[in-house]
Amino acid sequence: MSTPICLRCLRRSLFPPISSRAAKLAATRAAFSTTPSRSANPPKKQSTTAKRDTSKTKSLRLSKNKRVVTGRPPAPGERKALRKRVVLSNSNALEVAGLEDFTAENVRRATLLRQLEGRVVGFGDATVNVLRALEGFKPTQGWGLFRRPASLVRAETVELGEMMQTLKGEKSMLSLLLAGERGSGKSVLQLQAMAVAYLQGWIIVHIPEAKDITIGHTAFQPVKTTDGQTIYIQPQYTAELLDKIAQANRGILSDLRLSRQHQLPIPIQSNISLARLVELGANDPQLAWPIWQALWAELTAPSQPDKQGLHRPPVLVSADGVDHIMRNSAYIDVETKPIHSHELAIVRDFTALLAGKTALPNGGMVLAAISKSTAANSPTFAAAHGHPRQFARASRDRRPKLPEWNPYDSLDQRVAEVMENVEVKNVDGLSKQEARSVMEYYARSGMMRGTITEGLVSEKWTLAGGGLVGELEKGAVRARF
Partner 1 sequence: MQQQEHVSEETAKMNEIMGKEGPDIEGQGTPVQDILKAEPEAQKQAPQVMKDSIRTGQGAANAKPSTSRSFSTLTRRRQQDLTTSTHLPSSLDPSMIPTAAQRATYTDSHPPAPPSVQDTKTGHKFPLPSLPLPPTARKDERYDPIVTQLTNLLMRDGKKATAQRNMTTILTHLRTSPAPVYNPTRPLLPGAPPASHLPLHPILYLTLAIDSVAPLLRIRSQRGAAGGGVALQIPVPLGLRQRRRQAFMWILDAAEKRQNRGSGRDMFATRVAEELVGIVEGRSGVWERRAAVHRLGTTSRSNLTYGSRGRR
List interacting residues with partner 1 (CB under 8 A). 70-71, 73-74, 78-80, 82-83, 87, 90-94, 144-145, 446-447, 455, 478-479, 481
Give the nearest distance from C-beta 464 to partner 1 in angstroms. Answer: 16
- Provide the H-helix boundaries in 18-121: 20-28, 37-40, 78-83, 104-108, 110-115
Decide whether 173 or 447 has the Cβ nearer to partner 1: 447
Paired with 348 in beta bridges are: none
Instruction: Indicate the residue among 82 and 97 with the shorter CB distance to partner 1.
Output: 82
Query: Would you say 4 or 76 has its CB closer to partner 1?
Result: 76
CA angle 324, 330, 333 (to 5 degrees): 130
> Kind of pairing, strands 203-207 and 221-224?
unpaired
Tell me the residue ranges of DSSP E strands in 147-284.
150-152, 173-180, 203-207, 221-224, 230-233
- We find the least distance from the C-beta atom of residue 93 to partner 1, in angstroms, to be 8
CB of 137 to partner 1, least distance (A): 15
H/E element, 125: helix 125-133
CB of residue 368 vs partner 1: minimum separation in angstroms?
28
State the DSSP string of 353-365: HHHTSS--TT-EE
- Least distance from C-beta 80 to partner 1, angstroms? 6
The whole-angstrom separation of Cα 283 and Cα 271 is 20
Q: How far is the CB of 452 from partner 1 (least distance, A)?
A: 15
CB-nearer residue toward partner 1: 145 or 366: 145
Who's near 234: CB < 8 A, 6+ residues apart?
213, 218, 219, 220, 344, 345, 346
Q: How far is CA 359 from CA 160, 165, 173, 351, in A?
A: 20, 18, 7, 12
Of 8 and 80, the one with the shorter C-beta distance to partner 1 is 80
CB of 82 to partner 1, least distance (A): 3
Residue length of the chain: 481
Provide the minimum distance between the beta carbon of 144 and partner 1 in the complex, in angstroms, as a whole number: 6
Between residues 45 and 449, which has the closer beta carbon with respect to partner 1?
449
Closest CA to 364 of 156, 163, 167, 166: 167
Task: Tell the smallest beta-carbon distance from residue 40 to partner 1 (Å).
Answer: 21
Rg (CA), the chain: 26
**Single-letter code of the amino acid located at 461:** W
Residue number with CB closer to partner 1 (206 or 436): 436
Measure CA 395 to chain center: 33
Q: Would you say 93 or 174 has its CB closer to partner 1? A: 93
Which CB, 39 or 91, lies closer to partner 1?
91
